[in-house]
Copies of this chain bind each other. A is one copy, B any other.
């Protein structure tokens, strides 16, 4: 019979988790005191600022248990947070994991969840320094707080785009949305698990290495991750910079798998790129002179594509799409609103 949390109890589970972190995680020299006391303690480095973010995934809302594995879920929950640190140009260092778990959750699932966390943290020698576990009755939740560092004054904000900046985007936004749509309409989702679009949804990549390289280069004016969707996050840059944008439709990055998926759904593939999608790409703005320099900087740390898709304009908070026939269309800024859906 599958061992569940009600079999081993909270303290039994905590022992399992500590042991797993101890044996499968990596030590981090900044940790003065890890798991096991009232608080953890860390030694911040001189000359660095400390970045802090938190993000949560709730069962039934951000993920469906049938559509993912505990390991992938752990990776994704940590990736979402690493992406935020990366979008400032920082390096992730310390994670606190707060879980709400139902009593019938298999112990093996919780271990796999932590293996997923560590799979994402270990490449940075980042470690889990604390957390909390509580029982829930209806839906599991994973709430992670991630701390990172960046050289003082080197972070890149979303609110500092400049007029006439080029707009760059990494990778192929929209793939996670296409993957989710494929999953939801599949008769047997399990068979599709290795489909690249579904992998993009269940196990997305962050661009933290790219973000850090861009920030250190000093060439970017603004940067954000696409966690709310490409258009919504470009909207955040525009609104908070008091500017607007024009996008060139034929320049939007579109790969074969997204094109084919769009055909399957009978949708315009460009719409898929711009909608709310759980990809964690970067949007970067920089002066036109620096576009090639940013490409070059990113190419040194990653094979991720970098596409120039448009330009910052003075039309505050407004984004237009330039169609191939020369027509300009106003785009409606949306962004996933949990409480209105």
Q: Is A78 an interface residue when CB atoms closer than 8 A count as contact?
A: no
A137 adjacent to B61 (CB under 8 Å): yes
What string of 1s and 0s marks CB contacts (under 8 Å) between A146-177 and chain B?
01101010010111000000000000000000
A256 to chain B, nearest CB (A): 30
A104 to chain B, nearest CB (A): 10
Chain B residues with CB below 8 A from A11, complex form: 335, 337
Kindly specify which of A19-27, A95-103, A294-302, A307-315 makes contact with the partner chain: A95-103
Kindly specify which of A35-43, A115-123, A194-202, A261-269 makes contact with the partner chain: A35-43
Bound together, the chains give a CA A130 to CA B5 distance in angstroms of: 31
- The answer to whether residues A138 and B137 also contact, given A84-B39, A87-B38, A240-B36 and a CB cut-off of 8 A, is yes
Chain B residues with CB below 8 A from A111, complex form: none
Bound together, the chains give a CA A159 to CA B135 distance in angstroms of: 27
Which single member of B33, B88, B96, B137 contacts A37 (CB below 8 Å)? B88
Bound together, the chains give a CA A140 to CA B46 distance in angstroms of: 39
Q: Is A62 an interface residue when CB atoms closer than 8 A count as contact?
A: yes
A52 adjacent to B130 (CB under 8 Å): yes
B49 adjacent to A96 (CB under 8 Å): no
- The answer to whether residues A132 and B143 also contact, given A96-B54, A157-B37, A337-B10 and a CB cut-off of 8 A, is yes
Question: Which of A37, A46, A157, A340 has most chain B Cβ within 10 Å?
Answer: A37
Q: Is A32 an interface residue when CB atoms closer than 8 A count as contact?
A: yes
A215 to chain B, nearest CB (A): 12
Q: Is A136 an interface residue when CB atoms closer than 8 A count as contact?
A: yes
Q: Which residues of A are in contact with B by a Cβ distance under 8 Å?
A: 5-6, 8-11, 13, 32-33, 36-44, 46, 49-56, 58, 60-62, 83-85, 87-88, 90, 94, 96, 98, 100-101, 103, 129-139, 141, 143, 145, 147-148, 150, 152, 155, 157-159, 224-225, 240, 335, 337-340
27 contacts between A and B (CB under 8 A): A6-B339, A9-B337, A9-B339, A10-B340, A13-B339, A32-B49, A33-B157, A37-B157, A38-B53, A38-B83, A38-B224, A39-B52, A39-B88, A41-B88, A41-B155, A43-B152, A44-B50, A52-B129, A52-B145, A54-B145, A58-B135, A61-B135, A136-B139, A136-B141, A137-B138, A138-B138, A141-B141
